[in-house]
């Protein structure tokens, strides 16, 4: 991370705990650059996270108030903290398993209530910290430790899910396109109400090595090549579309 | 006290126990309630919605009990005295977050209006079957505080005390009430004659550590510029995760234990009734203690030297008082609306015979049954 | 039937179906007794459904603090349903005063205690076109016949417990009960 972002990092840390090639470091940089563009003061920022690799993006790395909570419950904790102190710019940063599986109910209800928070979902398509198990976001056919022959269940389209639940804004970009990601996070933070940014963030350790793409740059290339626009998505049948990531912004 | 225009001001009023809980919470400064409807506790939530929205507080109905208790913890860290209310099934769902609150030293009050369990059980009927859930519901070592009201007046008074203990020791505190007391209407004085304890928000030291063996650290709020790190993982005094350090884990678990156990004399409240010359004594809590007191008076009128030791605090357990009681009487009877949870605990602190009188039919214990039980003791 | 209910404690049980105003009647009576300067413990027993099913309201009135808060042996038993009549009457003591609404209850010949009928449901329908005030007619009736609470306090309980739009009907219902009591005499 470049030196001008150092002010956002907690003192006394020496590097993150992310695996080599993890996309979460890029995402952390994108979050902080968006915050920096908006000039939000450190003491006005609260990061809330759940459990999993992505929950470690803010905790302990980002030097603001951080609330590192239980698995799945980040949004519920954030609800109480934000309602009592509405001045806090509240960012929930957590993973796909945390936010959409064990925490799925809190996700849709926070969107329904239009809770004024920005949710940043690092979607690595798998349970990384616990050893590569199938997630509610794992693509059909992808191999995991619990589905070595390939996952049979359709993944959530999380952006669609939160928009249908009442979100004011959603966006999906891969960490391979950091500038678009920063723009989306900045926009999400500007919009009052429930906003959501899904960052497709590949996991070389758990996803990559099980799906013939262990080499980091190859994995990044393959993820990026699977990203399609909304217009391109319209030309595909459902099965084909489900093998891709529809990137872009989603607004009510 | 200002800004509480909705609070009933009459010197003596007729209110339900559940309503008295809400009135007390507001009076002692509770400014956040997150909850989910469940019989027989829902009147608390409804009254809190009225009172908080009429004043400067925040009420939110969450999507489930998991979310409710988590929102309460978040609210507490933003600086508000916070509360939820539930019954057994909801308490079961809240247990993980209660462990989190304990380990992160988050003050909050959880009101449990116990009903007849297990499972869905009998939603509208009384039970006292959550006594062990208060104590042992969390995984890991926790040393919680649970207060037990036996009247509507105590629903008021002990809710205030629950908040004060919670703020003082930075610990979640249970109000271990039950359906019979929660739904009872009695004469009650919603007085303002009480001390209010607030957490220390500013001061020296780190937010998660203390040089004292039983120390309660300072607790700044989010947004105060403290750049807090709150985590349910093992952490050092500043809040940094220390998930591999054996000394830090042991020291943290031990200090949290001592916050409760080194202050047992302050936390534990008991009440004695006719124990001076008693030969047989009830050890009772909550609504069952009222059955016991009625039985004591009837036994006395029949010449039986009976008495009552009533626990207003059930956790930490009144160990010393039960030992002293055992030294004084020939037999102890523990009447409770479960299969003998507290009787079993009491046996660990006295060699005197402890007889469990258990009733699990969704009703409170008729005094005549206790009279007969004592008369037939060996 | 004399005004014997200044005894302490006095135990009142009102039984019926959920939705008949049984619990509200218990609360009103408790409110009136407190207005009379006495200690009260009022409770209810009902099922999980919001409508239907058996409901009972218990009230203990005393001049001293109340230990056991529920009713053991009622001094006054009011029943609005055959089910609660059958369950609670004949009572365990001959001293219990039993009041029933003949619209719902046919008493058995072996009932103990004193029996008094009050056609509150019929009276309410005739006067107001619906049965919802029958509980208050019964309260006016039993207050007059037993003295369990004073008339003034019962009227005050209307003010304290009913929304303003229902108060006039409430007061009239109490008066109807009182009048019926005066007609049948103590």
For residue range A56-86, what is the model confidence (pLDDT) as tens digits? 999 999 999 999 999 999 999 999 999 999 9
Q: Least CA distance to C49: which residue of chain B?
A: B124
pLDDT of C4 strictly over 80: no
Sign of CA dihedral B244, B250, B255, B260: positive
> Which of B223, B224, B234 should one mutate to test binding to chain A, selecting the residue with the greatest count of A CBs within 10 A?
B223
Q: Which 3 state secondary structure label does DSSP give B44?
A: helix
Architecture label for domain C10-181: 3-Layer(aba) Sandwich (3.40)
Chains A and C touch (3+ CB pairs under 8 A): no
Question: What CATH fold (topology level) applies to the domain A17-250?
Answer: Rossmann fold (3.40.50)
The stretches of chain B forming alpha helices (DSSP H) are 17-28, 42-54, 65-77, 88-103, 131-136, 152-169, 179-182, 246-261, 264-267, 287-301, 319-328, 341-347, 367-375
pLDDT at position C6 is 65
Q: Which chain A residues are closer than 8 Å to B77 by Cβ? A: 67, 80-81
Q: Least CA distance to B39: which residue of chain C?
A: C48
> Side-chain half-sphere of A181: how many Cα atoms within 13 Å?
24
User: Which residues from B are below 8 Å from C when comparing CB atoms?
Assistant: 12, 14, 39, 122-125, 180, 183-187, 287, 290-291, 293-294, 297, 363-364, 366-368
Enumerate the β-bridge partners of residue B285.
B311
Q: Are the Cβ atoms of C30 and B185 closer than 8 angstroms? A: yes
d(CA B271, CA B279): 17
d(CA B270, CA B323): 13
Mean pLDDT, chain C, rounded, equals: 91
Q: Which chain C residues are closer than 8 Å to B184 by Cβ? A: 41-43, 69
Q: Are the Cβ atoms of C43 and B39 closer than 8 angstroms? A: no
Shortest Cα distance from C42 to chain B (angstroms)?
A: 5
Q: Are the Cβ atoms of A67 and B67 closer than 8 angstroms? A: no
Shortest Cα distance from C175 to chain B (angstroms)?
A: 24
Enumerate the β-bridge partners of residue B32.
B58, B82
pLDDT at position C26 is 97
Q: Are the Cβ atoms of C42 and B287 closer than 8 angstroms? A: no
Low-confidence ranges of chain B (pLDDT < 50): 1-8
pLDDT at position B4 is 39
pLDDT at position B41 is 98
pLDDT at position C79 is 95
Mean pLDDT, chain A, rounded, equals: 95
Q: Which chains contact B through at least 3 pairs of Cβ atoms less than 8 Å apart?
A: A, C
3-state helix vs strand vs coil in chain B, percent to 5: 40, 20, 40
Shortest Cα distance from A74 to chain B (angstroms)?
A: 8
Share of chain C above pLDDT 90, in %: 78
Chains B and A touch (3+ CB pairs under 8 A): yes
DSSP letter (8 states) at residue B239: -
> Which of B13, B40, B186, B337 should one mutate to test binding to chain C, selecting the residue with the greatest count of C CBs within 10 A?
B186
A and B: number of Cβ contacts within 8 A: 132
The H or E element that residue B85 is part of is strand B81-86
> Which of C39, C67, C156, C161 should one mutate to test binding to chain B, selecting the residue with the greatest count of B CBs within 10 A?
C67
DSSP letter (8 states) at residue B279: S
Q: Which chain B residues are closer than 8 Å to C42 by Cβ? A: 14, 184-186
Share of chain A above pLDDT 70, in %: 99
pLDDT of A33 strictly over 60: yes
d(CA A130, CA A250): 31
Enumerate the β-bridge partners of residue A121.
A94, A198
Packing angle between helix C120-128 and helix C134-146, nearest 10 degrees? 130
Residue B293 has its nearest CB partner, among C31, C39, C67, at C67
d(CA B196, CA B192): 10
Q: Which chain C residues are closer than 8 Å to B124 by Cβ? A: 45-48
Shortest Cα distance from B271 to chain A (angstroms)?
A: 37
Secondary structure, 3-state, A177-216: CHHHHHHHHHHHHHCCCCEEEEEECCCHHHHHCCCCCCCH
| Residue B221 touches chain A, beta carbons under 8 Å | yes
Mean pLDDT along residues A193-220: 92
Domains of chain B: 13-188 (3.40.50.970), 271-375 (3.40.50.920)
Closest among B284, B34, B31 to B150, alpha carbons compared:
B284
Q: Are the Cβ atoms of C68 and B14 closer than 8 angstroms? A: no
| Residue A107 touches chain B, beta carbons under 8 Å | no
Q: Are the Cβ atoms of B185 and C69 closer than 8 angstroms? A: no
pLDDT at position B221 is 98
The H or E element that residue A35 is part of is helix A24-38
Residues in chain C: 186
Quick check: A86 and A116 in contact, CB under 8 A?
A: yes
Q: Are the Cβ atoms of C67 and B124 closer than 8 angstroms? A: no
pLDDT band at C1 (very low <50, low <70, confident <90, very high): very low
Mean pLDDT along residues C61-67: 97
Extents of the domains making up chain A: 17-250
**How many helices (H) and strands (E) are present in chain B, helices listed first?**
13, 16
Intra-chain end-to-end CA distance of chain C, in Å: 4
Shortest Cα distance from B338 to chain A (angstroms)?
A: 32
Closest among C1, C55, C12 to C149, alpha carbons compared:
C12
pLDDT band at A2 (very low <50, low <70, confident <90, very high): low
pLDDT band at A5 (very low <50, low <70, confident <90, very high): confident
Task: State the pairing for strand pair A118-123/A195-200.
Answer: parallel
Shortest Cα distance from C122 to chain B (angstroms)?
A: 31
Q: Are the Cβ atoms of B232 and A68 closer than 8 angstroms? A: yes
Closest among B172, B166, B164, B128 to B148, alpha carbons compared:
B128
pLDDT band at C46 (very low <50, low <70, confident <90, very high): confident
Q: How confident is the model over C99-122, as pLDDT tens digits? A: 999 999 998 866 667 899 999 999
Q: Least CA distance to C69: which residue of chain B?
A: B290
| Chain position carrying tokens 């029943």 | C79
Q: Token pair for residue B128?
A: 């006292």
Phi-psi region of B121 (alpha: psi -120 to 50; beta: other; left: phi over 0): left
Chains C and B touch (3+ CB pairs under 8 A): yes
pLDDT at position C110 is 67
The stretches of A87-170 forming alpha helices (DSSP H) are 96, 104-112, 158-165
Shortest Cα distance from A83 to chain B (angstroms)?
A: 7
Q: Token pair for residue B60?
A: 């939110």
Q: Which chain A residues are closer than 8 Å to B231 by Cβ? A: 59-60, 66, 68
User: Which residues from C are below 8 Å from B when comparing CB atoms?
Assistant: 27, 30-31, 34, 39-48, 66-70, 72
pLDDT at position B192 is 93
Cis geometry, peptide bond prior to residue A124 (ω within 30 degrees of 0):
no
Q: Which chain B residues are closer than 8 Å to A79 by Cβ? A: 34, 60, 62, 67, 70-71, 74
Shortest Cα distance from B200 to chain C (angstroms)?
A: 39
pLDDT at position A214 is 72
Q: Are the Cβ atoms of B31 and A64 closer than 8 angstroms? A: no
Between positions 4 and 33 of A, the ones with CB within 8 A of B are 10, 12
Shortest Cα distance from B317 to chain C (angstroms)?
A: 24
Residue A60 has its nearest CB partner, among B62, B82, B240, at B240
Q: Least CA distance to B14: which residue of chain C?
A: C31
Quick check: B143 and B103 in contact, CB under 8 A?
A: no
Sign of CA dihedral C87, C88, C94, C99: negative
pLDDT at position C48 is 74
Residue A81 has its nearest CB partner, among B62, B75, B224, at B75
Residue B123 has its nearest CB partner, among C40, C48, C69, at C48
pLDDT at position A158 is 97
Q: Write phi, then psi, for A153 (nearest 5 degrees).
A: -100, 145
């Amino acid at each position: 991370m470049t030196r001008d972002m150092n002010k956002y990092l907690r003192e006394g840390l020496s590097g993150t705990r992310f695996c080599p090639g993890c996309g979460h470091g890029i995402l952390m940089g994108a979050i902080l650059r968006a915050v920096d563009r908006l000039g939000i003061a450190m003491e006005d920022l609260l990061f809330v996270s759940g459990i999993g690799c992505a929950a470690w993006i803010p905790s302990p790395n980002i030097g603001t108030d951080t609330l590192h909570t239980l698995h799945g419950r980040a949004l519920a904790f954030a609800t109480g903290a934000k309602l009592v102190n509405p001045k806090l710019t509240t960012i929930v940063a957590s993973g796909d398993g945390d936010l959409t599986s064990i925490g799925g109910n809190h996700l849709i209800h926070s969107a329904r209530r239009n809770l004024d928070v920005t949710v940043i979902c690092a979607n690595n398509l798998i349970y990384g910290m616990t050893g590569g198990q199938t997630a509610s976001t794992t693509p059909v056919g992808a191999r995991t430790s619990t589905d070595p022959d390939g996952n049979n269940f359709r993944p959530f389209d999380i952006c669609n899910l939160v928009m249908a639940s009442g979100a004011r804004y959603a966006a999906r970009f891969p960490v391979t396109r950091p500038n678009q990601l920063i723009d989306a996070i900045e926009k999400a933070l500007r919009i009052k109400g429930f906003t959501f940014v899904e960052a497709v963030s590949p996991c070389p350790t758990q996803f990559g090595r099980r799906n013939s793409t262990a080499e980091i740059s190859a994995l990044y290339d393959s993820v990026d090549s699977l990203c399609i626009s909304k217009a391109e998505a319209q030309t595909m049948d459902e099965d084909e579309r489900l093998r891709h990531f529809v990137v872009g912004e989603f607004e009510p | 006290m200002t800004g509480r225009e909705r609070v009933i001001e009459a010197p003596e009023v007729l209110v339900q126990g559940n309503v008295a809980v809400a009135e007390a919470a507001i009076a002692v400064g509770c400014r956040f309630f997150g909850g989910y409807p469940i019989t027989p506790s829902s009147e608390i939530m409804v009254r809190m919605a009225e009172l908080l929205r009429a004043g400067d507080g925040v009420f939110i109905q969450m999507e489930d009990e998991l979310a409710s208790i988590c929102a309460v913890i978040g609210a507490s860290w933003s600086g508000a005295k916070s509360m939820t209310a539930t019954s057994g099934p909801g308490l079961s769902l809240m247990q993980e977050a209660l462990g989190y609150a304990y380990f992160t030293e988050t003050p909050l009050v959880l009101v449990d209006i116990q009903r007849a369990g297990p499972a869905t059980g009998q939603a509208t009927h009384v039970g006292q079957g959550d006594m062990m859930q208060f104590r042992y519901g969390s995984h890991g070592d926790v040393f919680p505080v649970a207060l037990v009201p036996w009247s509507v007046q105590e629903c008021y008074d002990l809710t205030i005390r629950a908040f004060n203990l919670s703020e003082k020791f930075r610990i979640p505190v249970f109000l271990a009430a039950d359906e019979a007391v929660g739904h009872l209407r009695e004469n009650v004085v919603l007085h303002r004659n009480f001390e209010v304890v607030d957490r220390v928000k500013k001061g020296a030291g780190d937010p998660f550590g203390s040089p004292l063996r039983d120390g309660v650290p300072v607790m700044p709020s989010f947004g105060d510029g403290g750049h807090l790190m709150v985590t349910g993982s093992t952490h050092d005094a500043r809040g940094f995760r220390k998930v591999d350090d054996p000394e830090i884990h042991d020291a943290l678990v031990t200090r949290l234990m001592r916050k409760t156990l080194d202050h047992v004399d302050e936390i534990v409240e008991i009440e004695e009734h006719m124990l001076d010359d008693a030969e047989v004594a009830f050890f009772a809590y909550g609504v069952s203690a009222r059955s016991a007191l009625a039985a004591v008076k009837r036994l006395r009128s029949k010449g039986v030297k009976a008495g009552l030791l009533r626990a207003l605090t059930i956790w930490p357990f009144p160990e010393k008082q039960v030992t002293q009681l055992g030294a004084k009487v020939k037999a102890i009877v523990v009447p409770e609306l479960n299969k003998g949870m507290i009787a079993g605990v009491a046996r660990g602190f006295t060699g005197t015979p402890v007889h469990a009188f258990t009733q699990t039919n969704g009703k409170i214990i008729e005094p005549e049954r206790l009279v007969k039980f004592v008369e037939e003791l060996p | 039937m004399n005004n014997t209910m200044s005894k302490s404690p006095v135990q009142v049980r009102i039984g019926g179906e959920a939705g008949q105003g049984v619990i509200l009647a218990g609360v009103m009576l408790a409110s009136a007794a407190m207005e009379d300067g006495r200690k009260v413990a009022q409770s209810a027993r009902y099922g999980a459904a919001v409508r239907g099913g058996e409901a009972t309201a218990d009230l203990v009135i005393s001049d001293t603090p109340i230990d056991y808060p529920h009713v053991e042996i009622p001094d006054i038993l009011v029943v609005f349903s055959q089910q609660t009549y059958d369950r609670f009457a004949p009572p365990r003591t001959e001293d219990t005063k039993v009041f029933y609404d003949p619209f719902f209850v046919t008493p058995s010949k072996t009932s103990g205690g004193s029996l008094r009928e009050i056609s509150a449901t019929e009276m309410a329908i005739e006067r107001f076109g619906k049965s919802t005030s029958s509980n208050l007619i019964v309260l006016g009736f039993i207050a007059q016949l037993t003295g369990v609470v004073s008339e003034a306090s019962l009227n005050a309980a209307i003010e304290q417990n009913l929304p303003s739009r229902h108060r006039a009907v409430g007061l009239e219902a109490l008066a109807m009960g009182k009048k019926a009591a005066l007609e049948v005499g103590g």
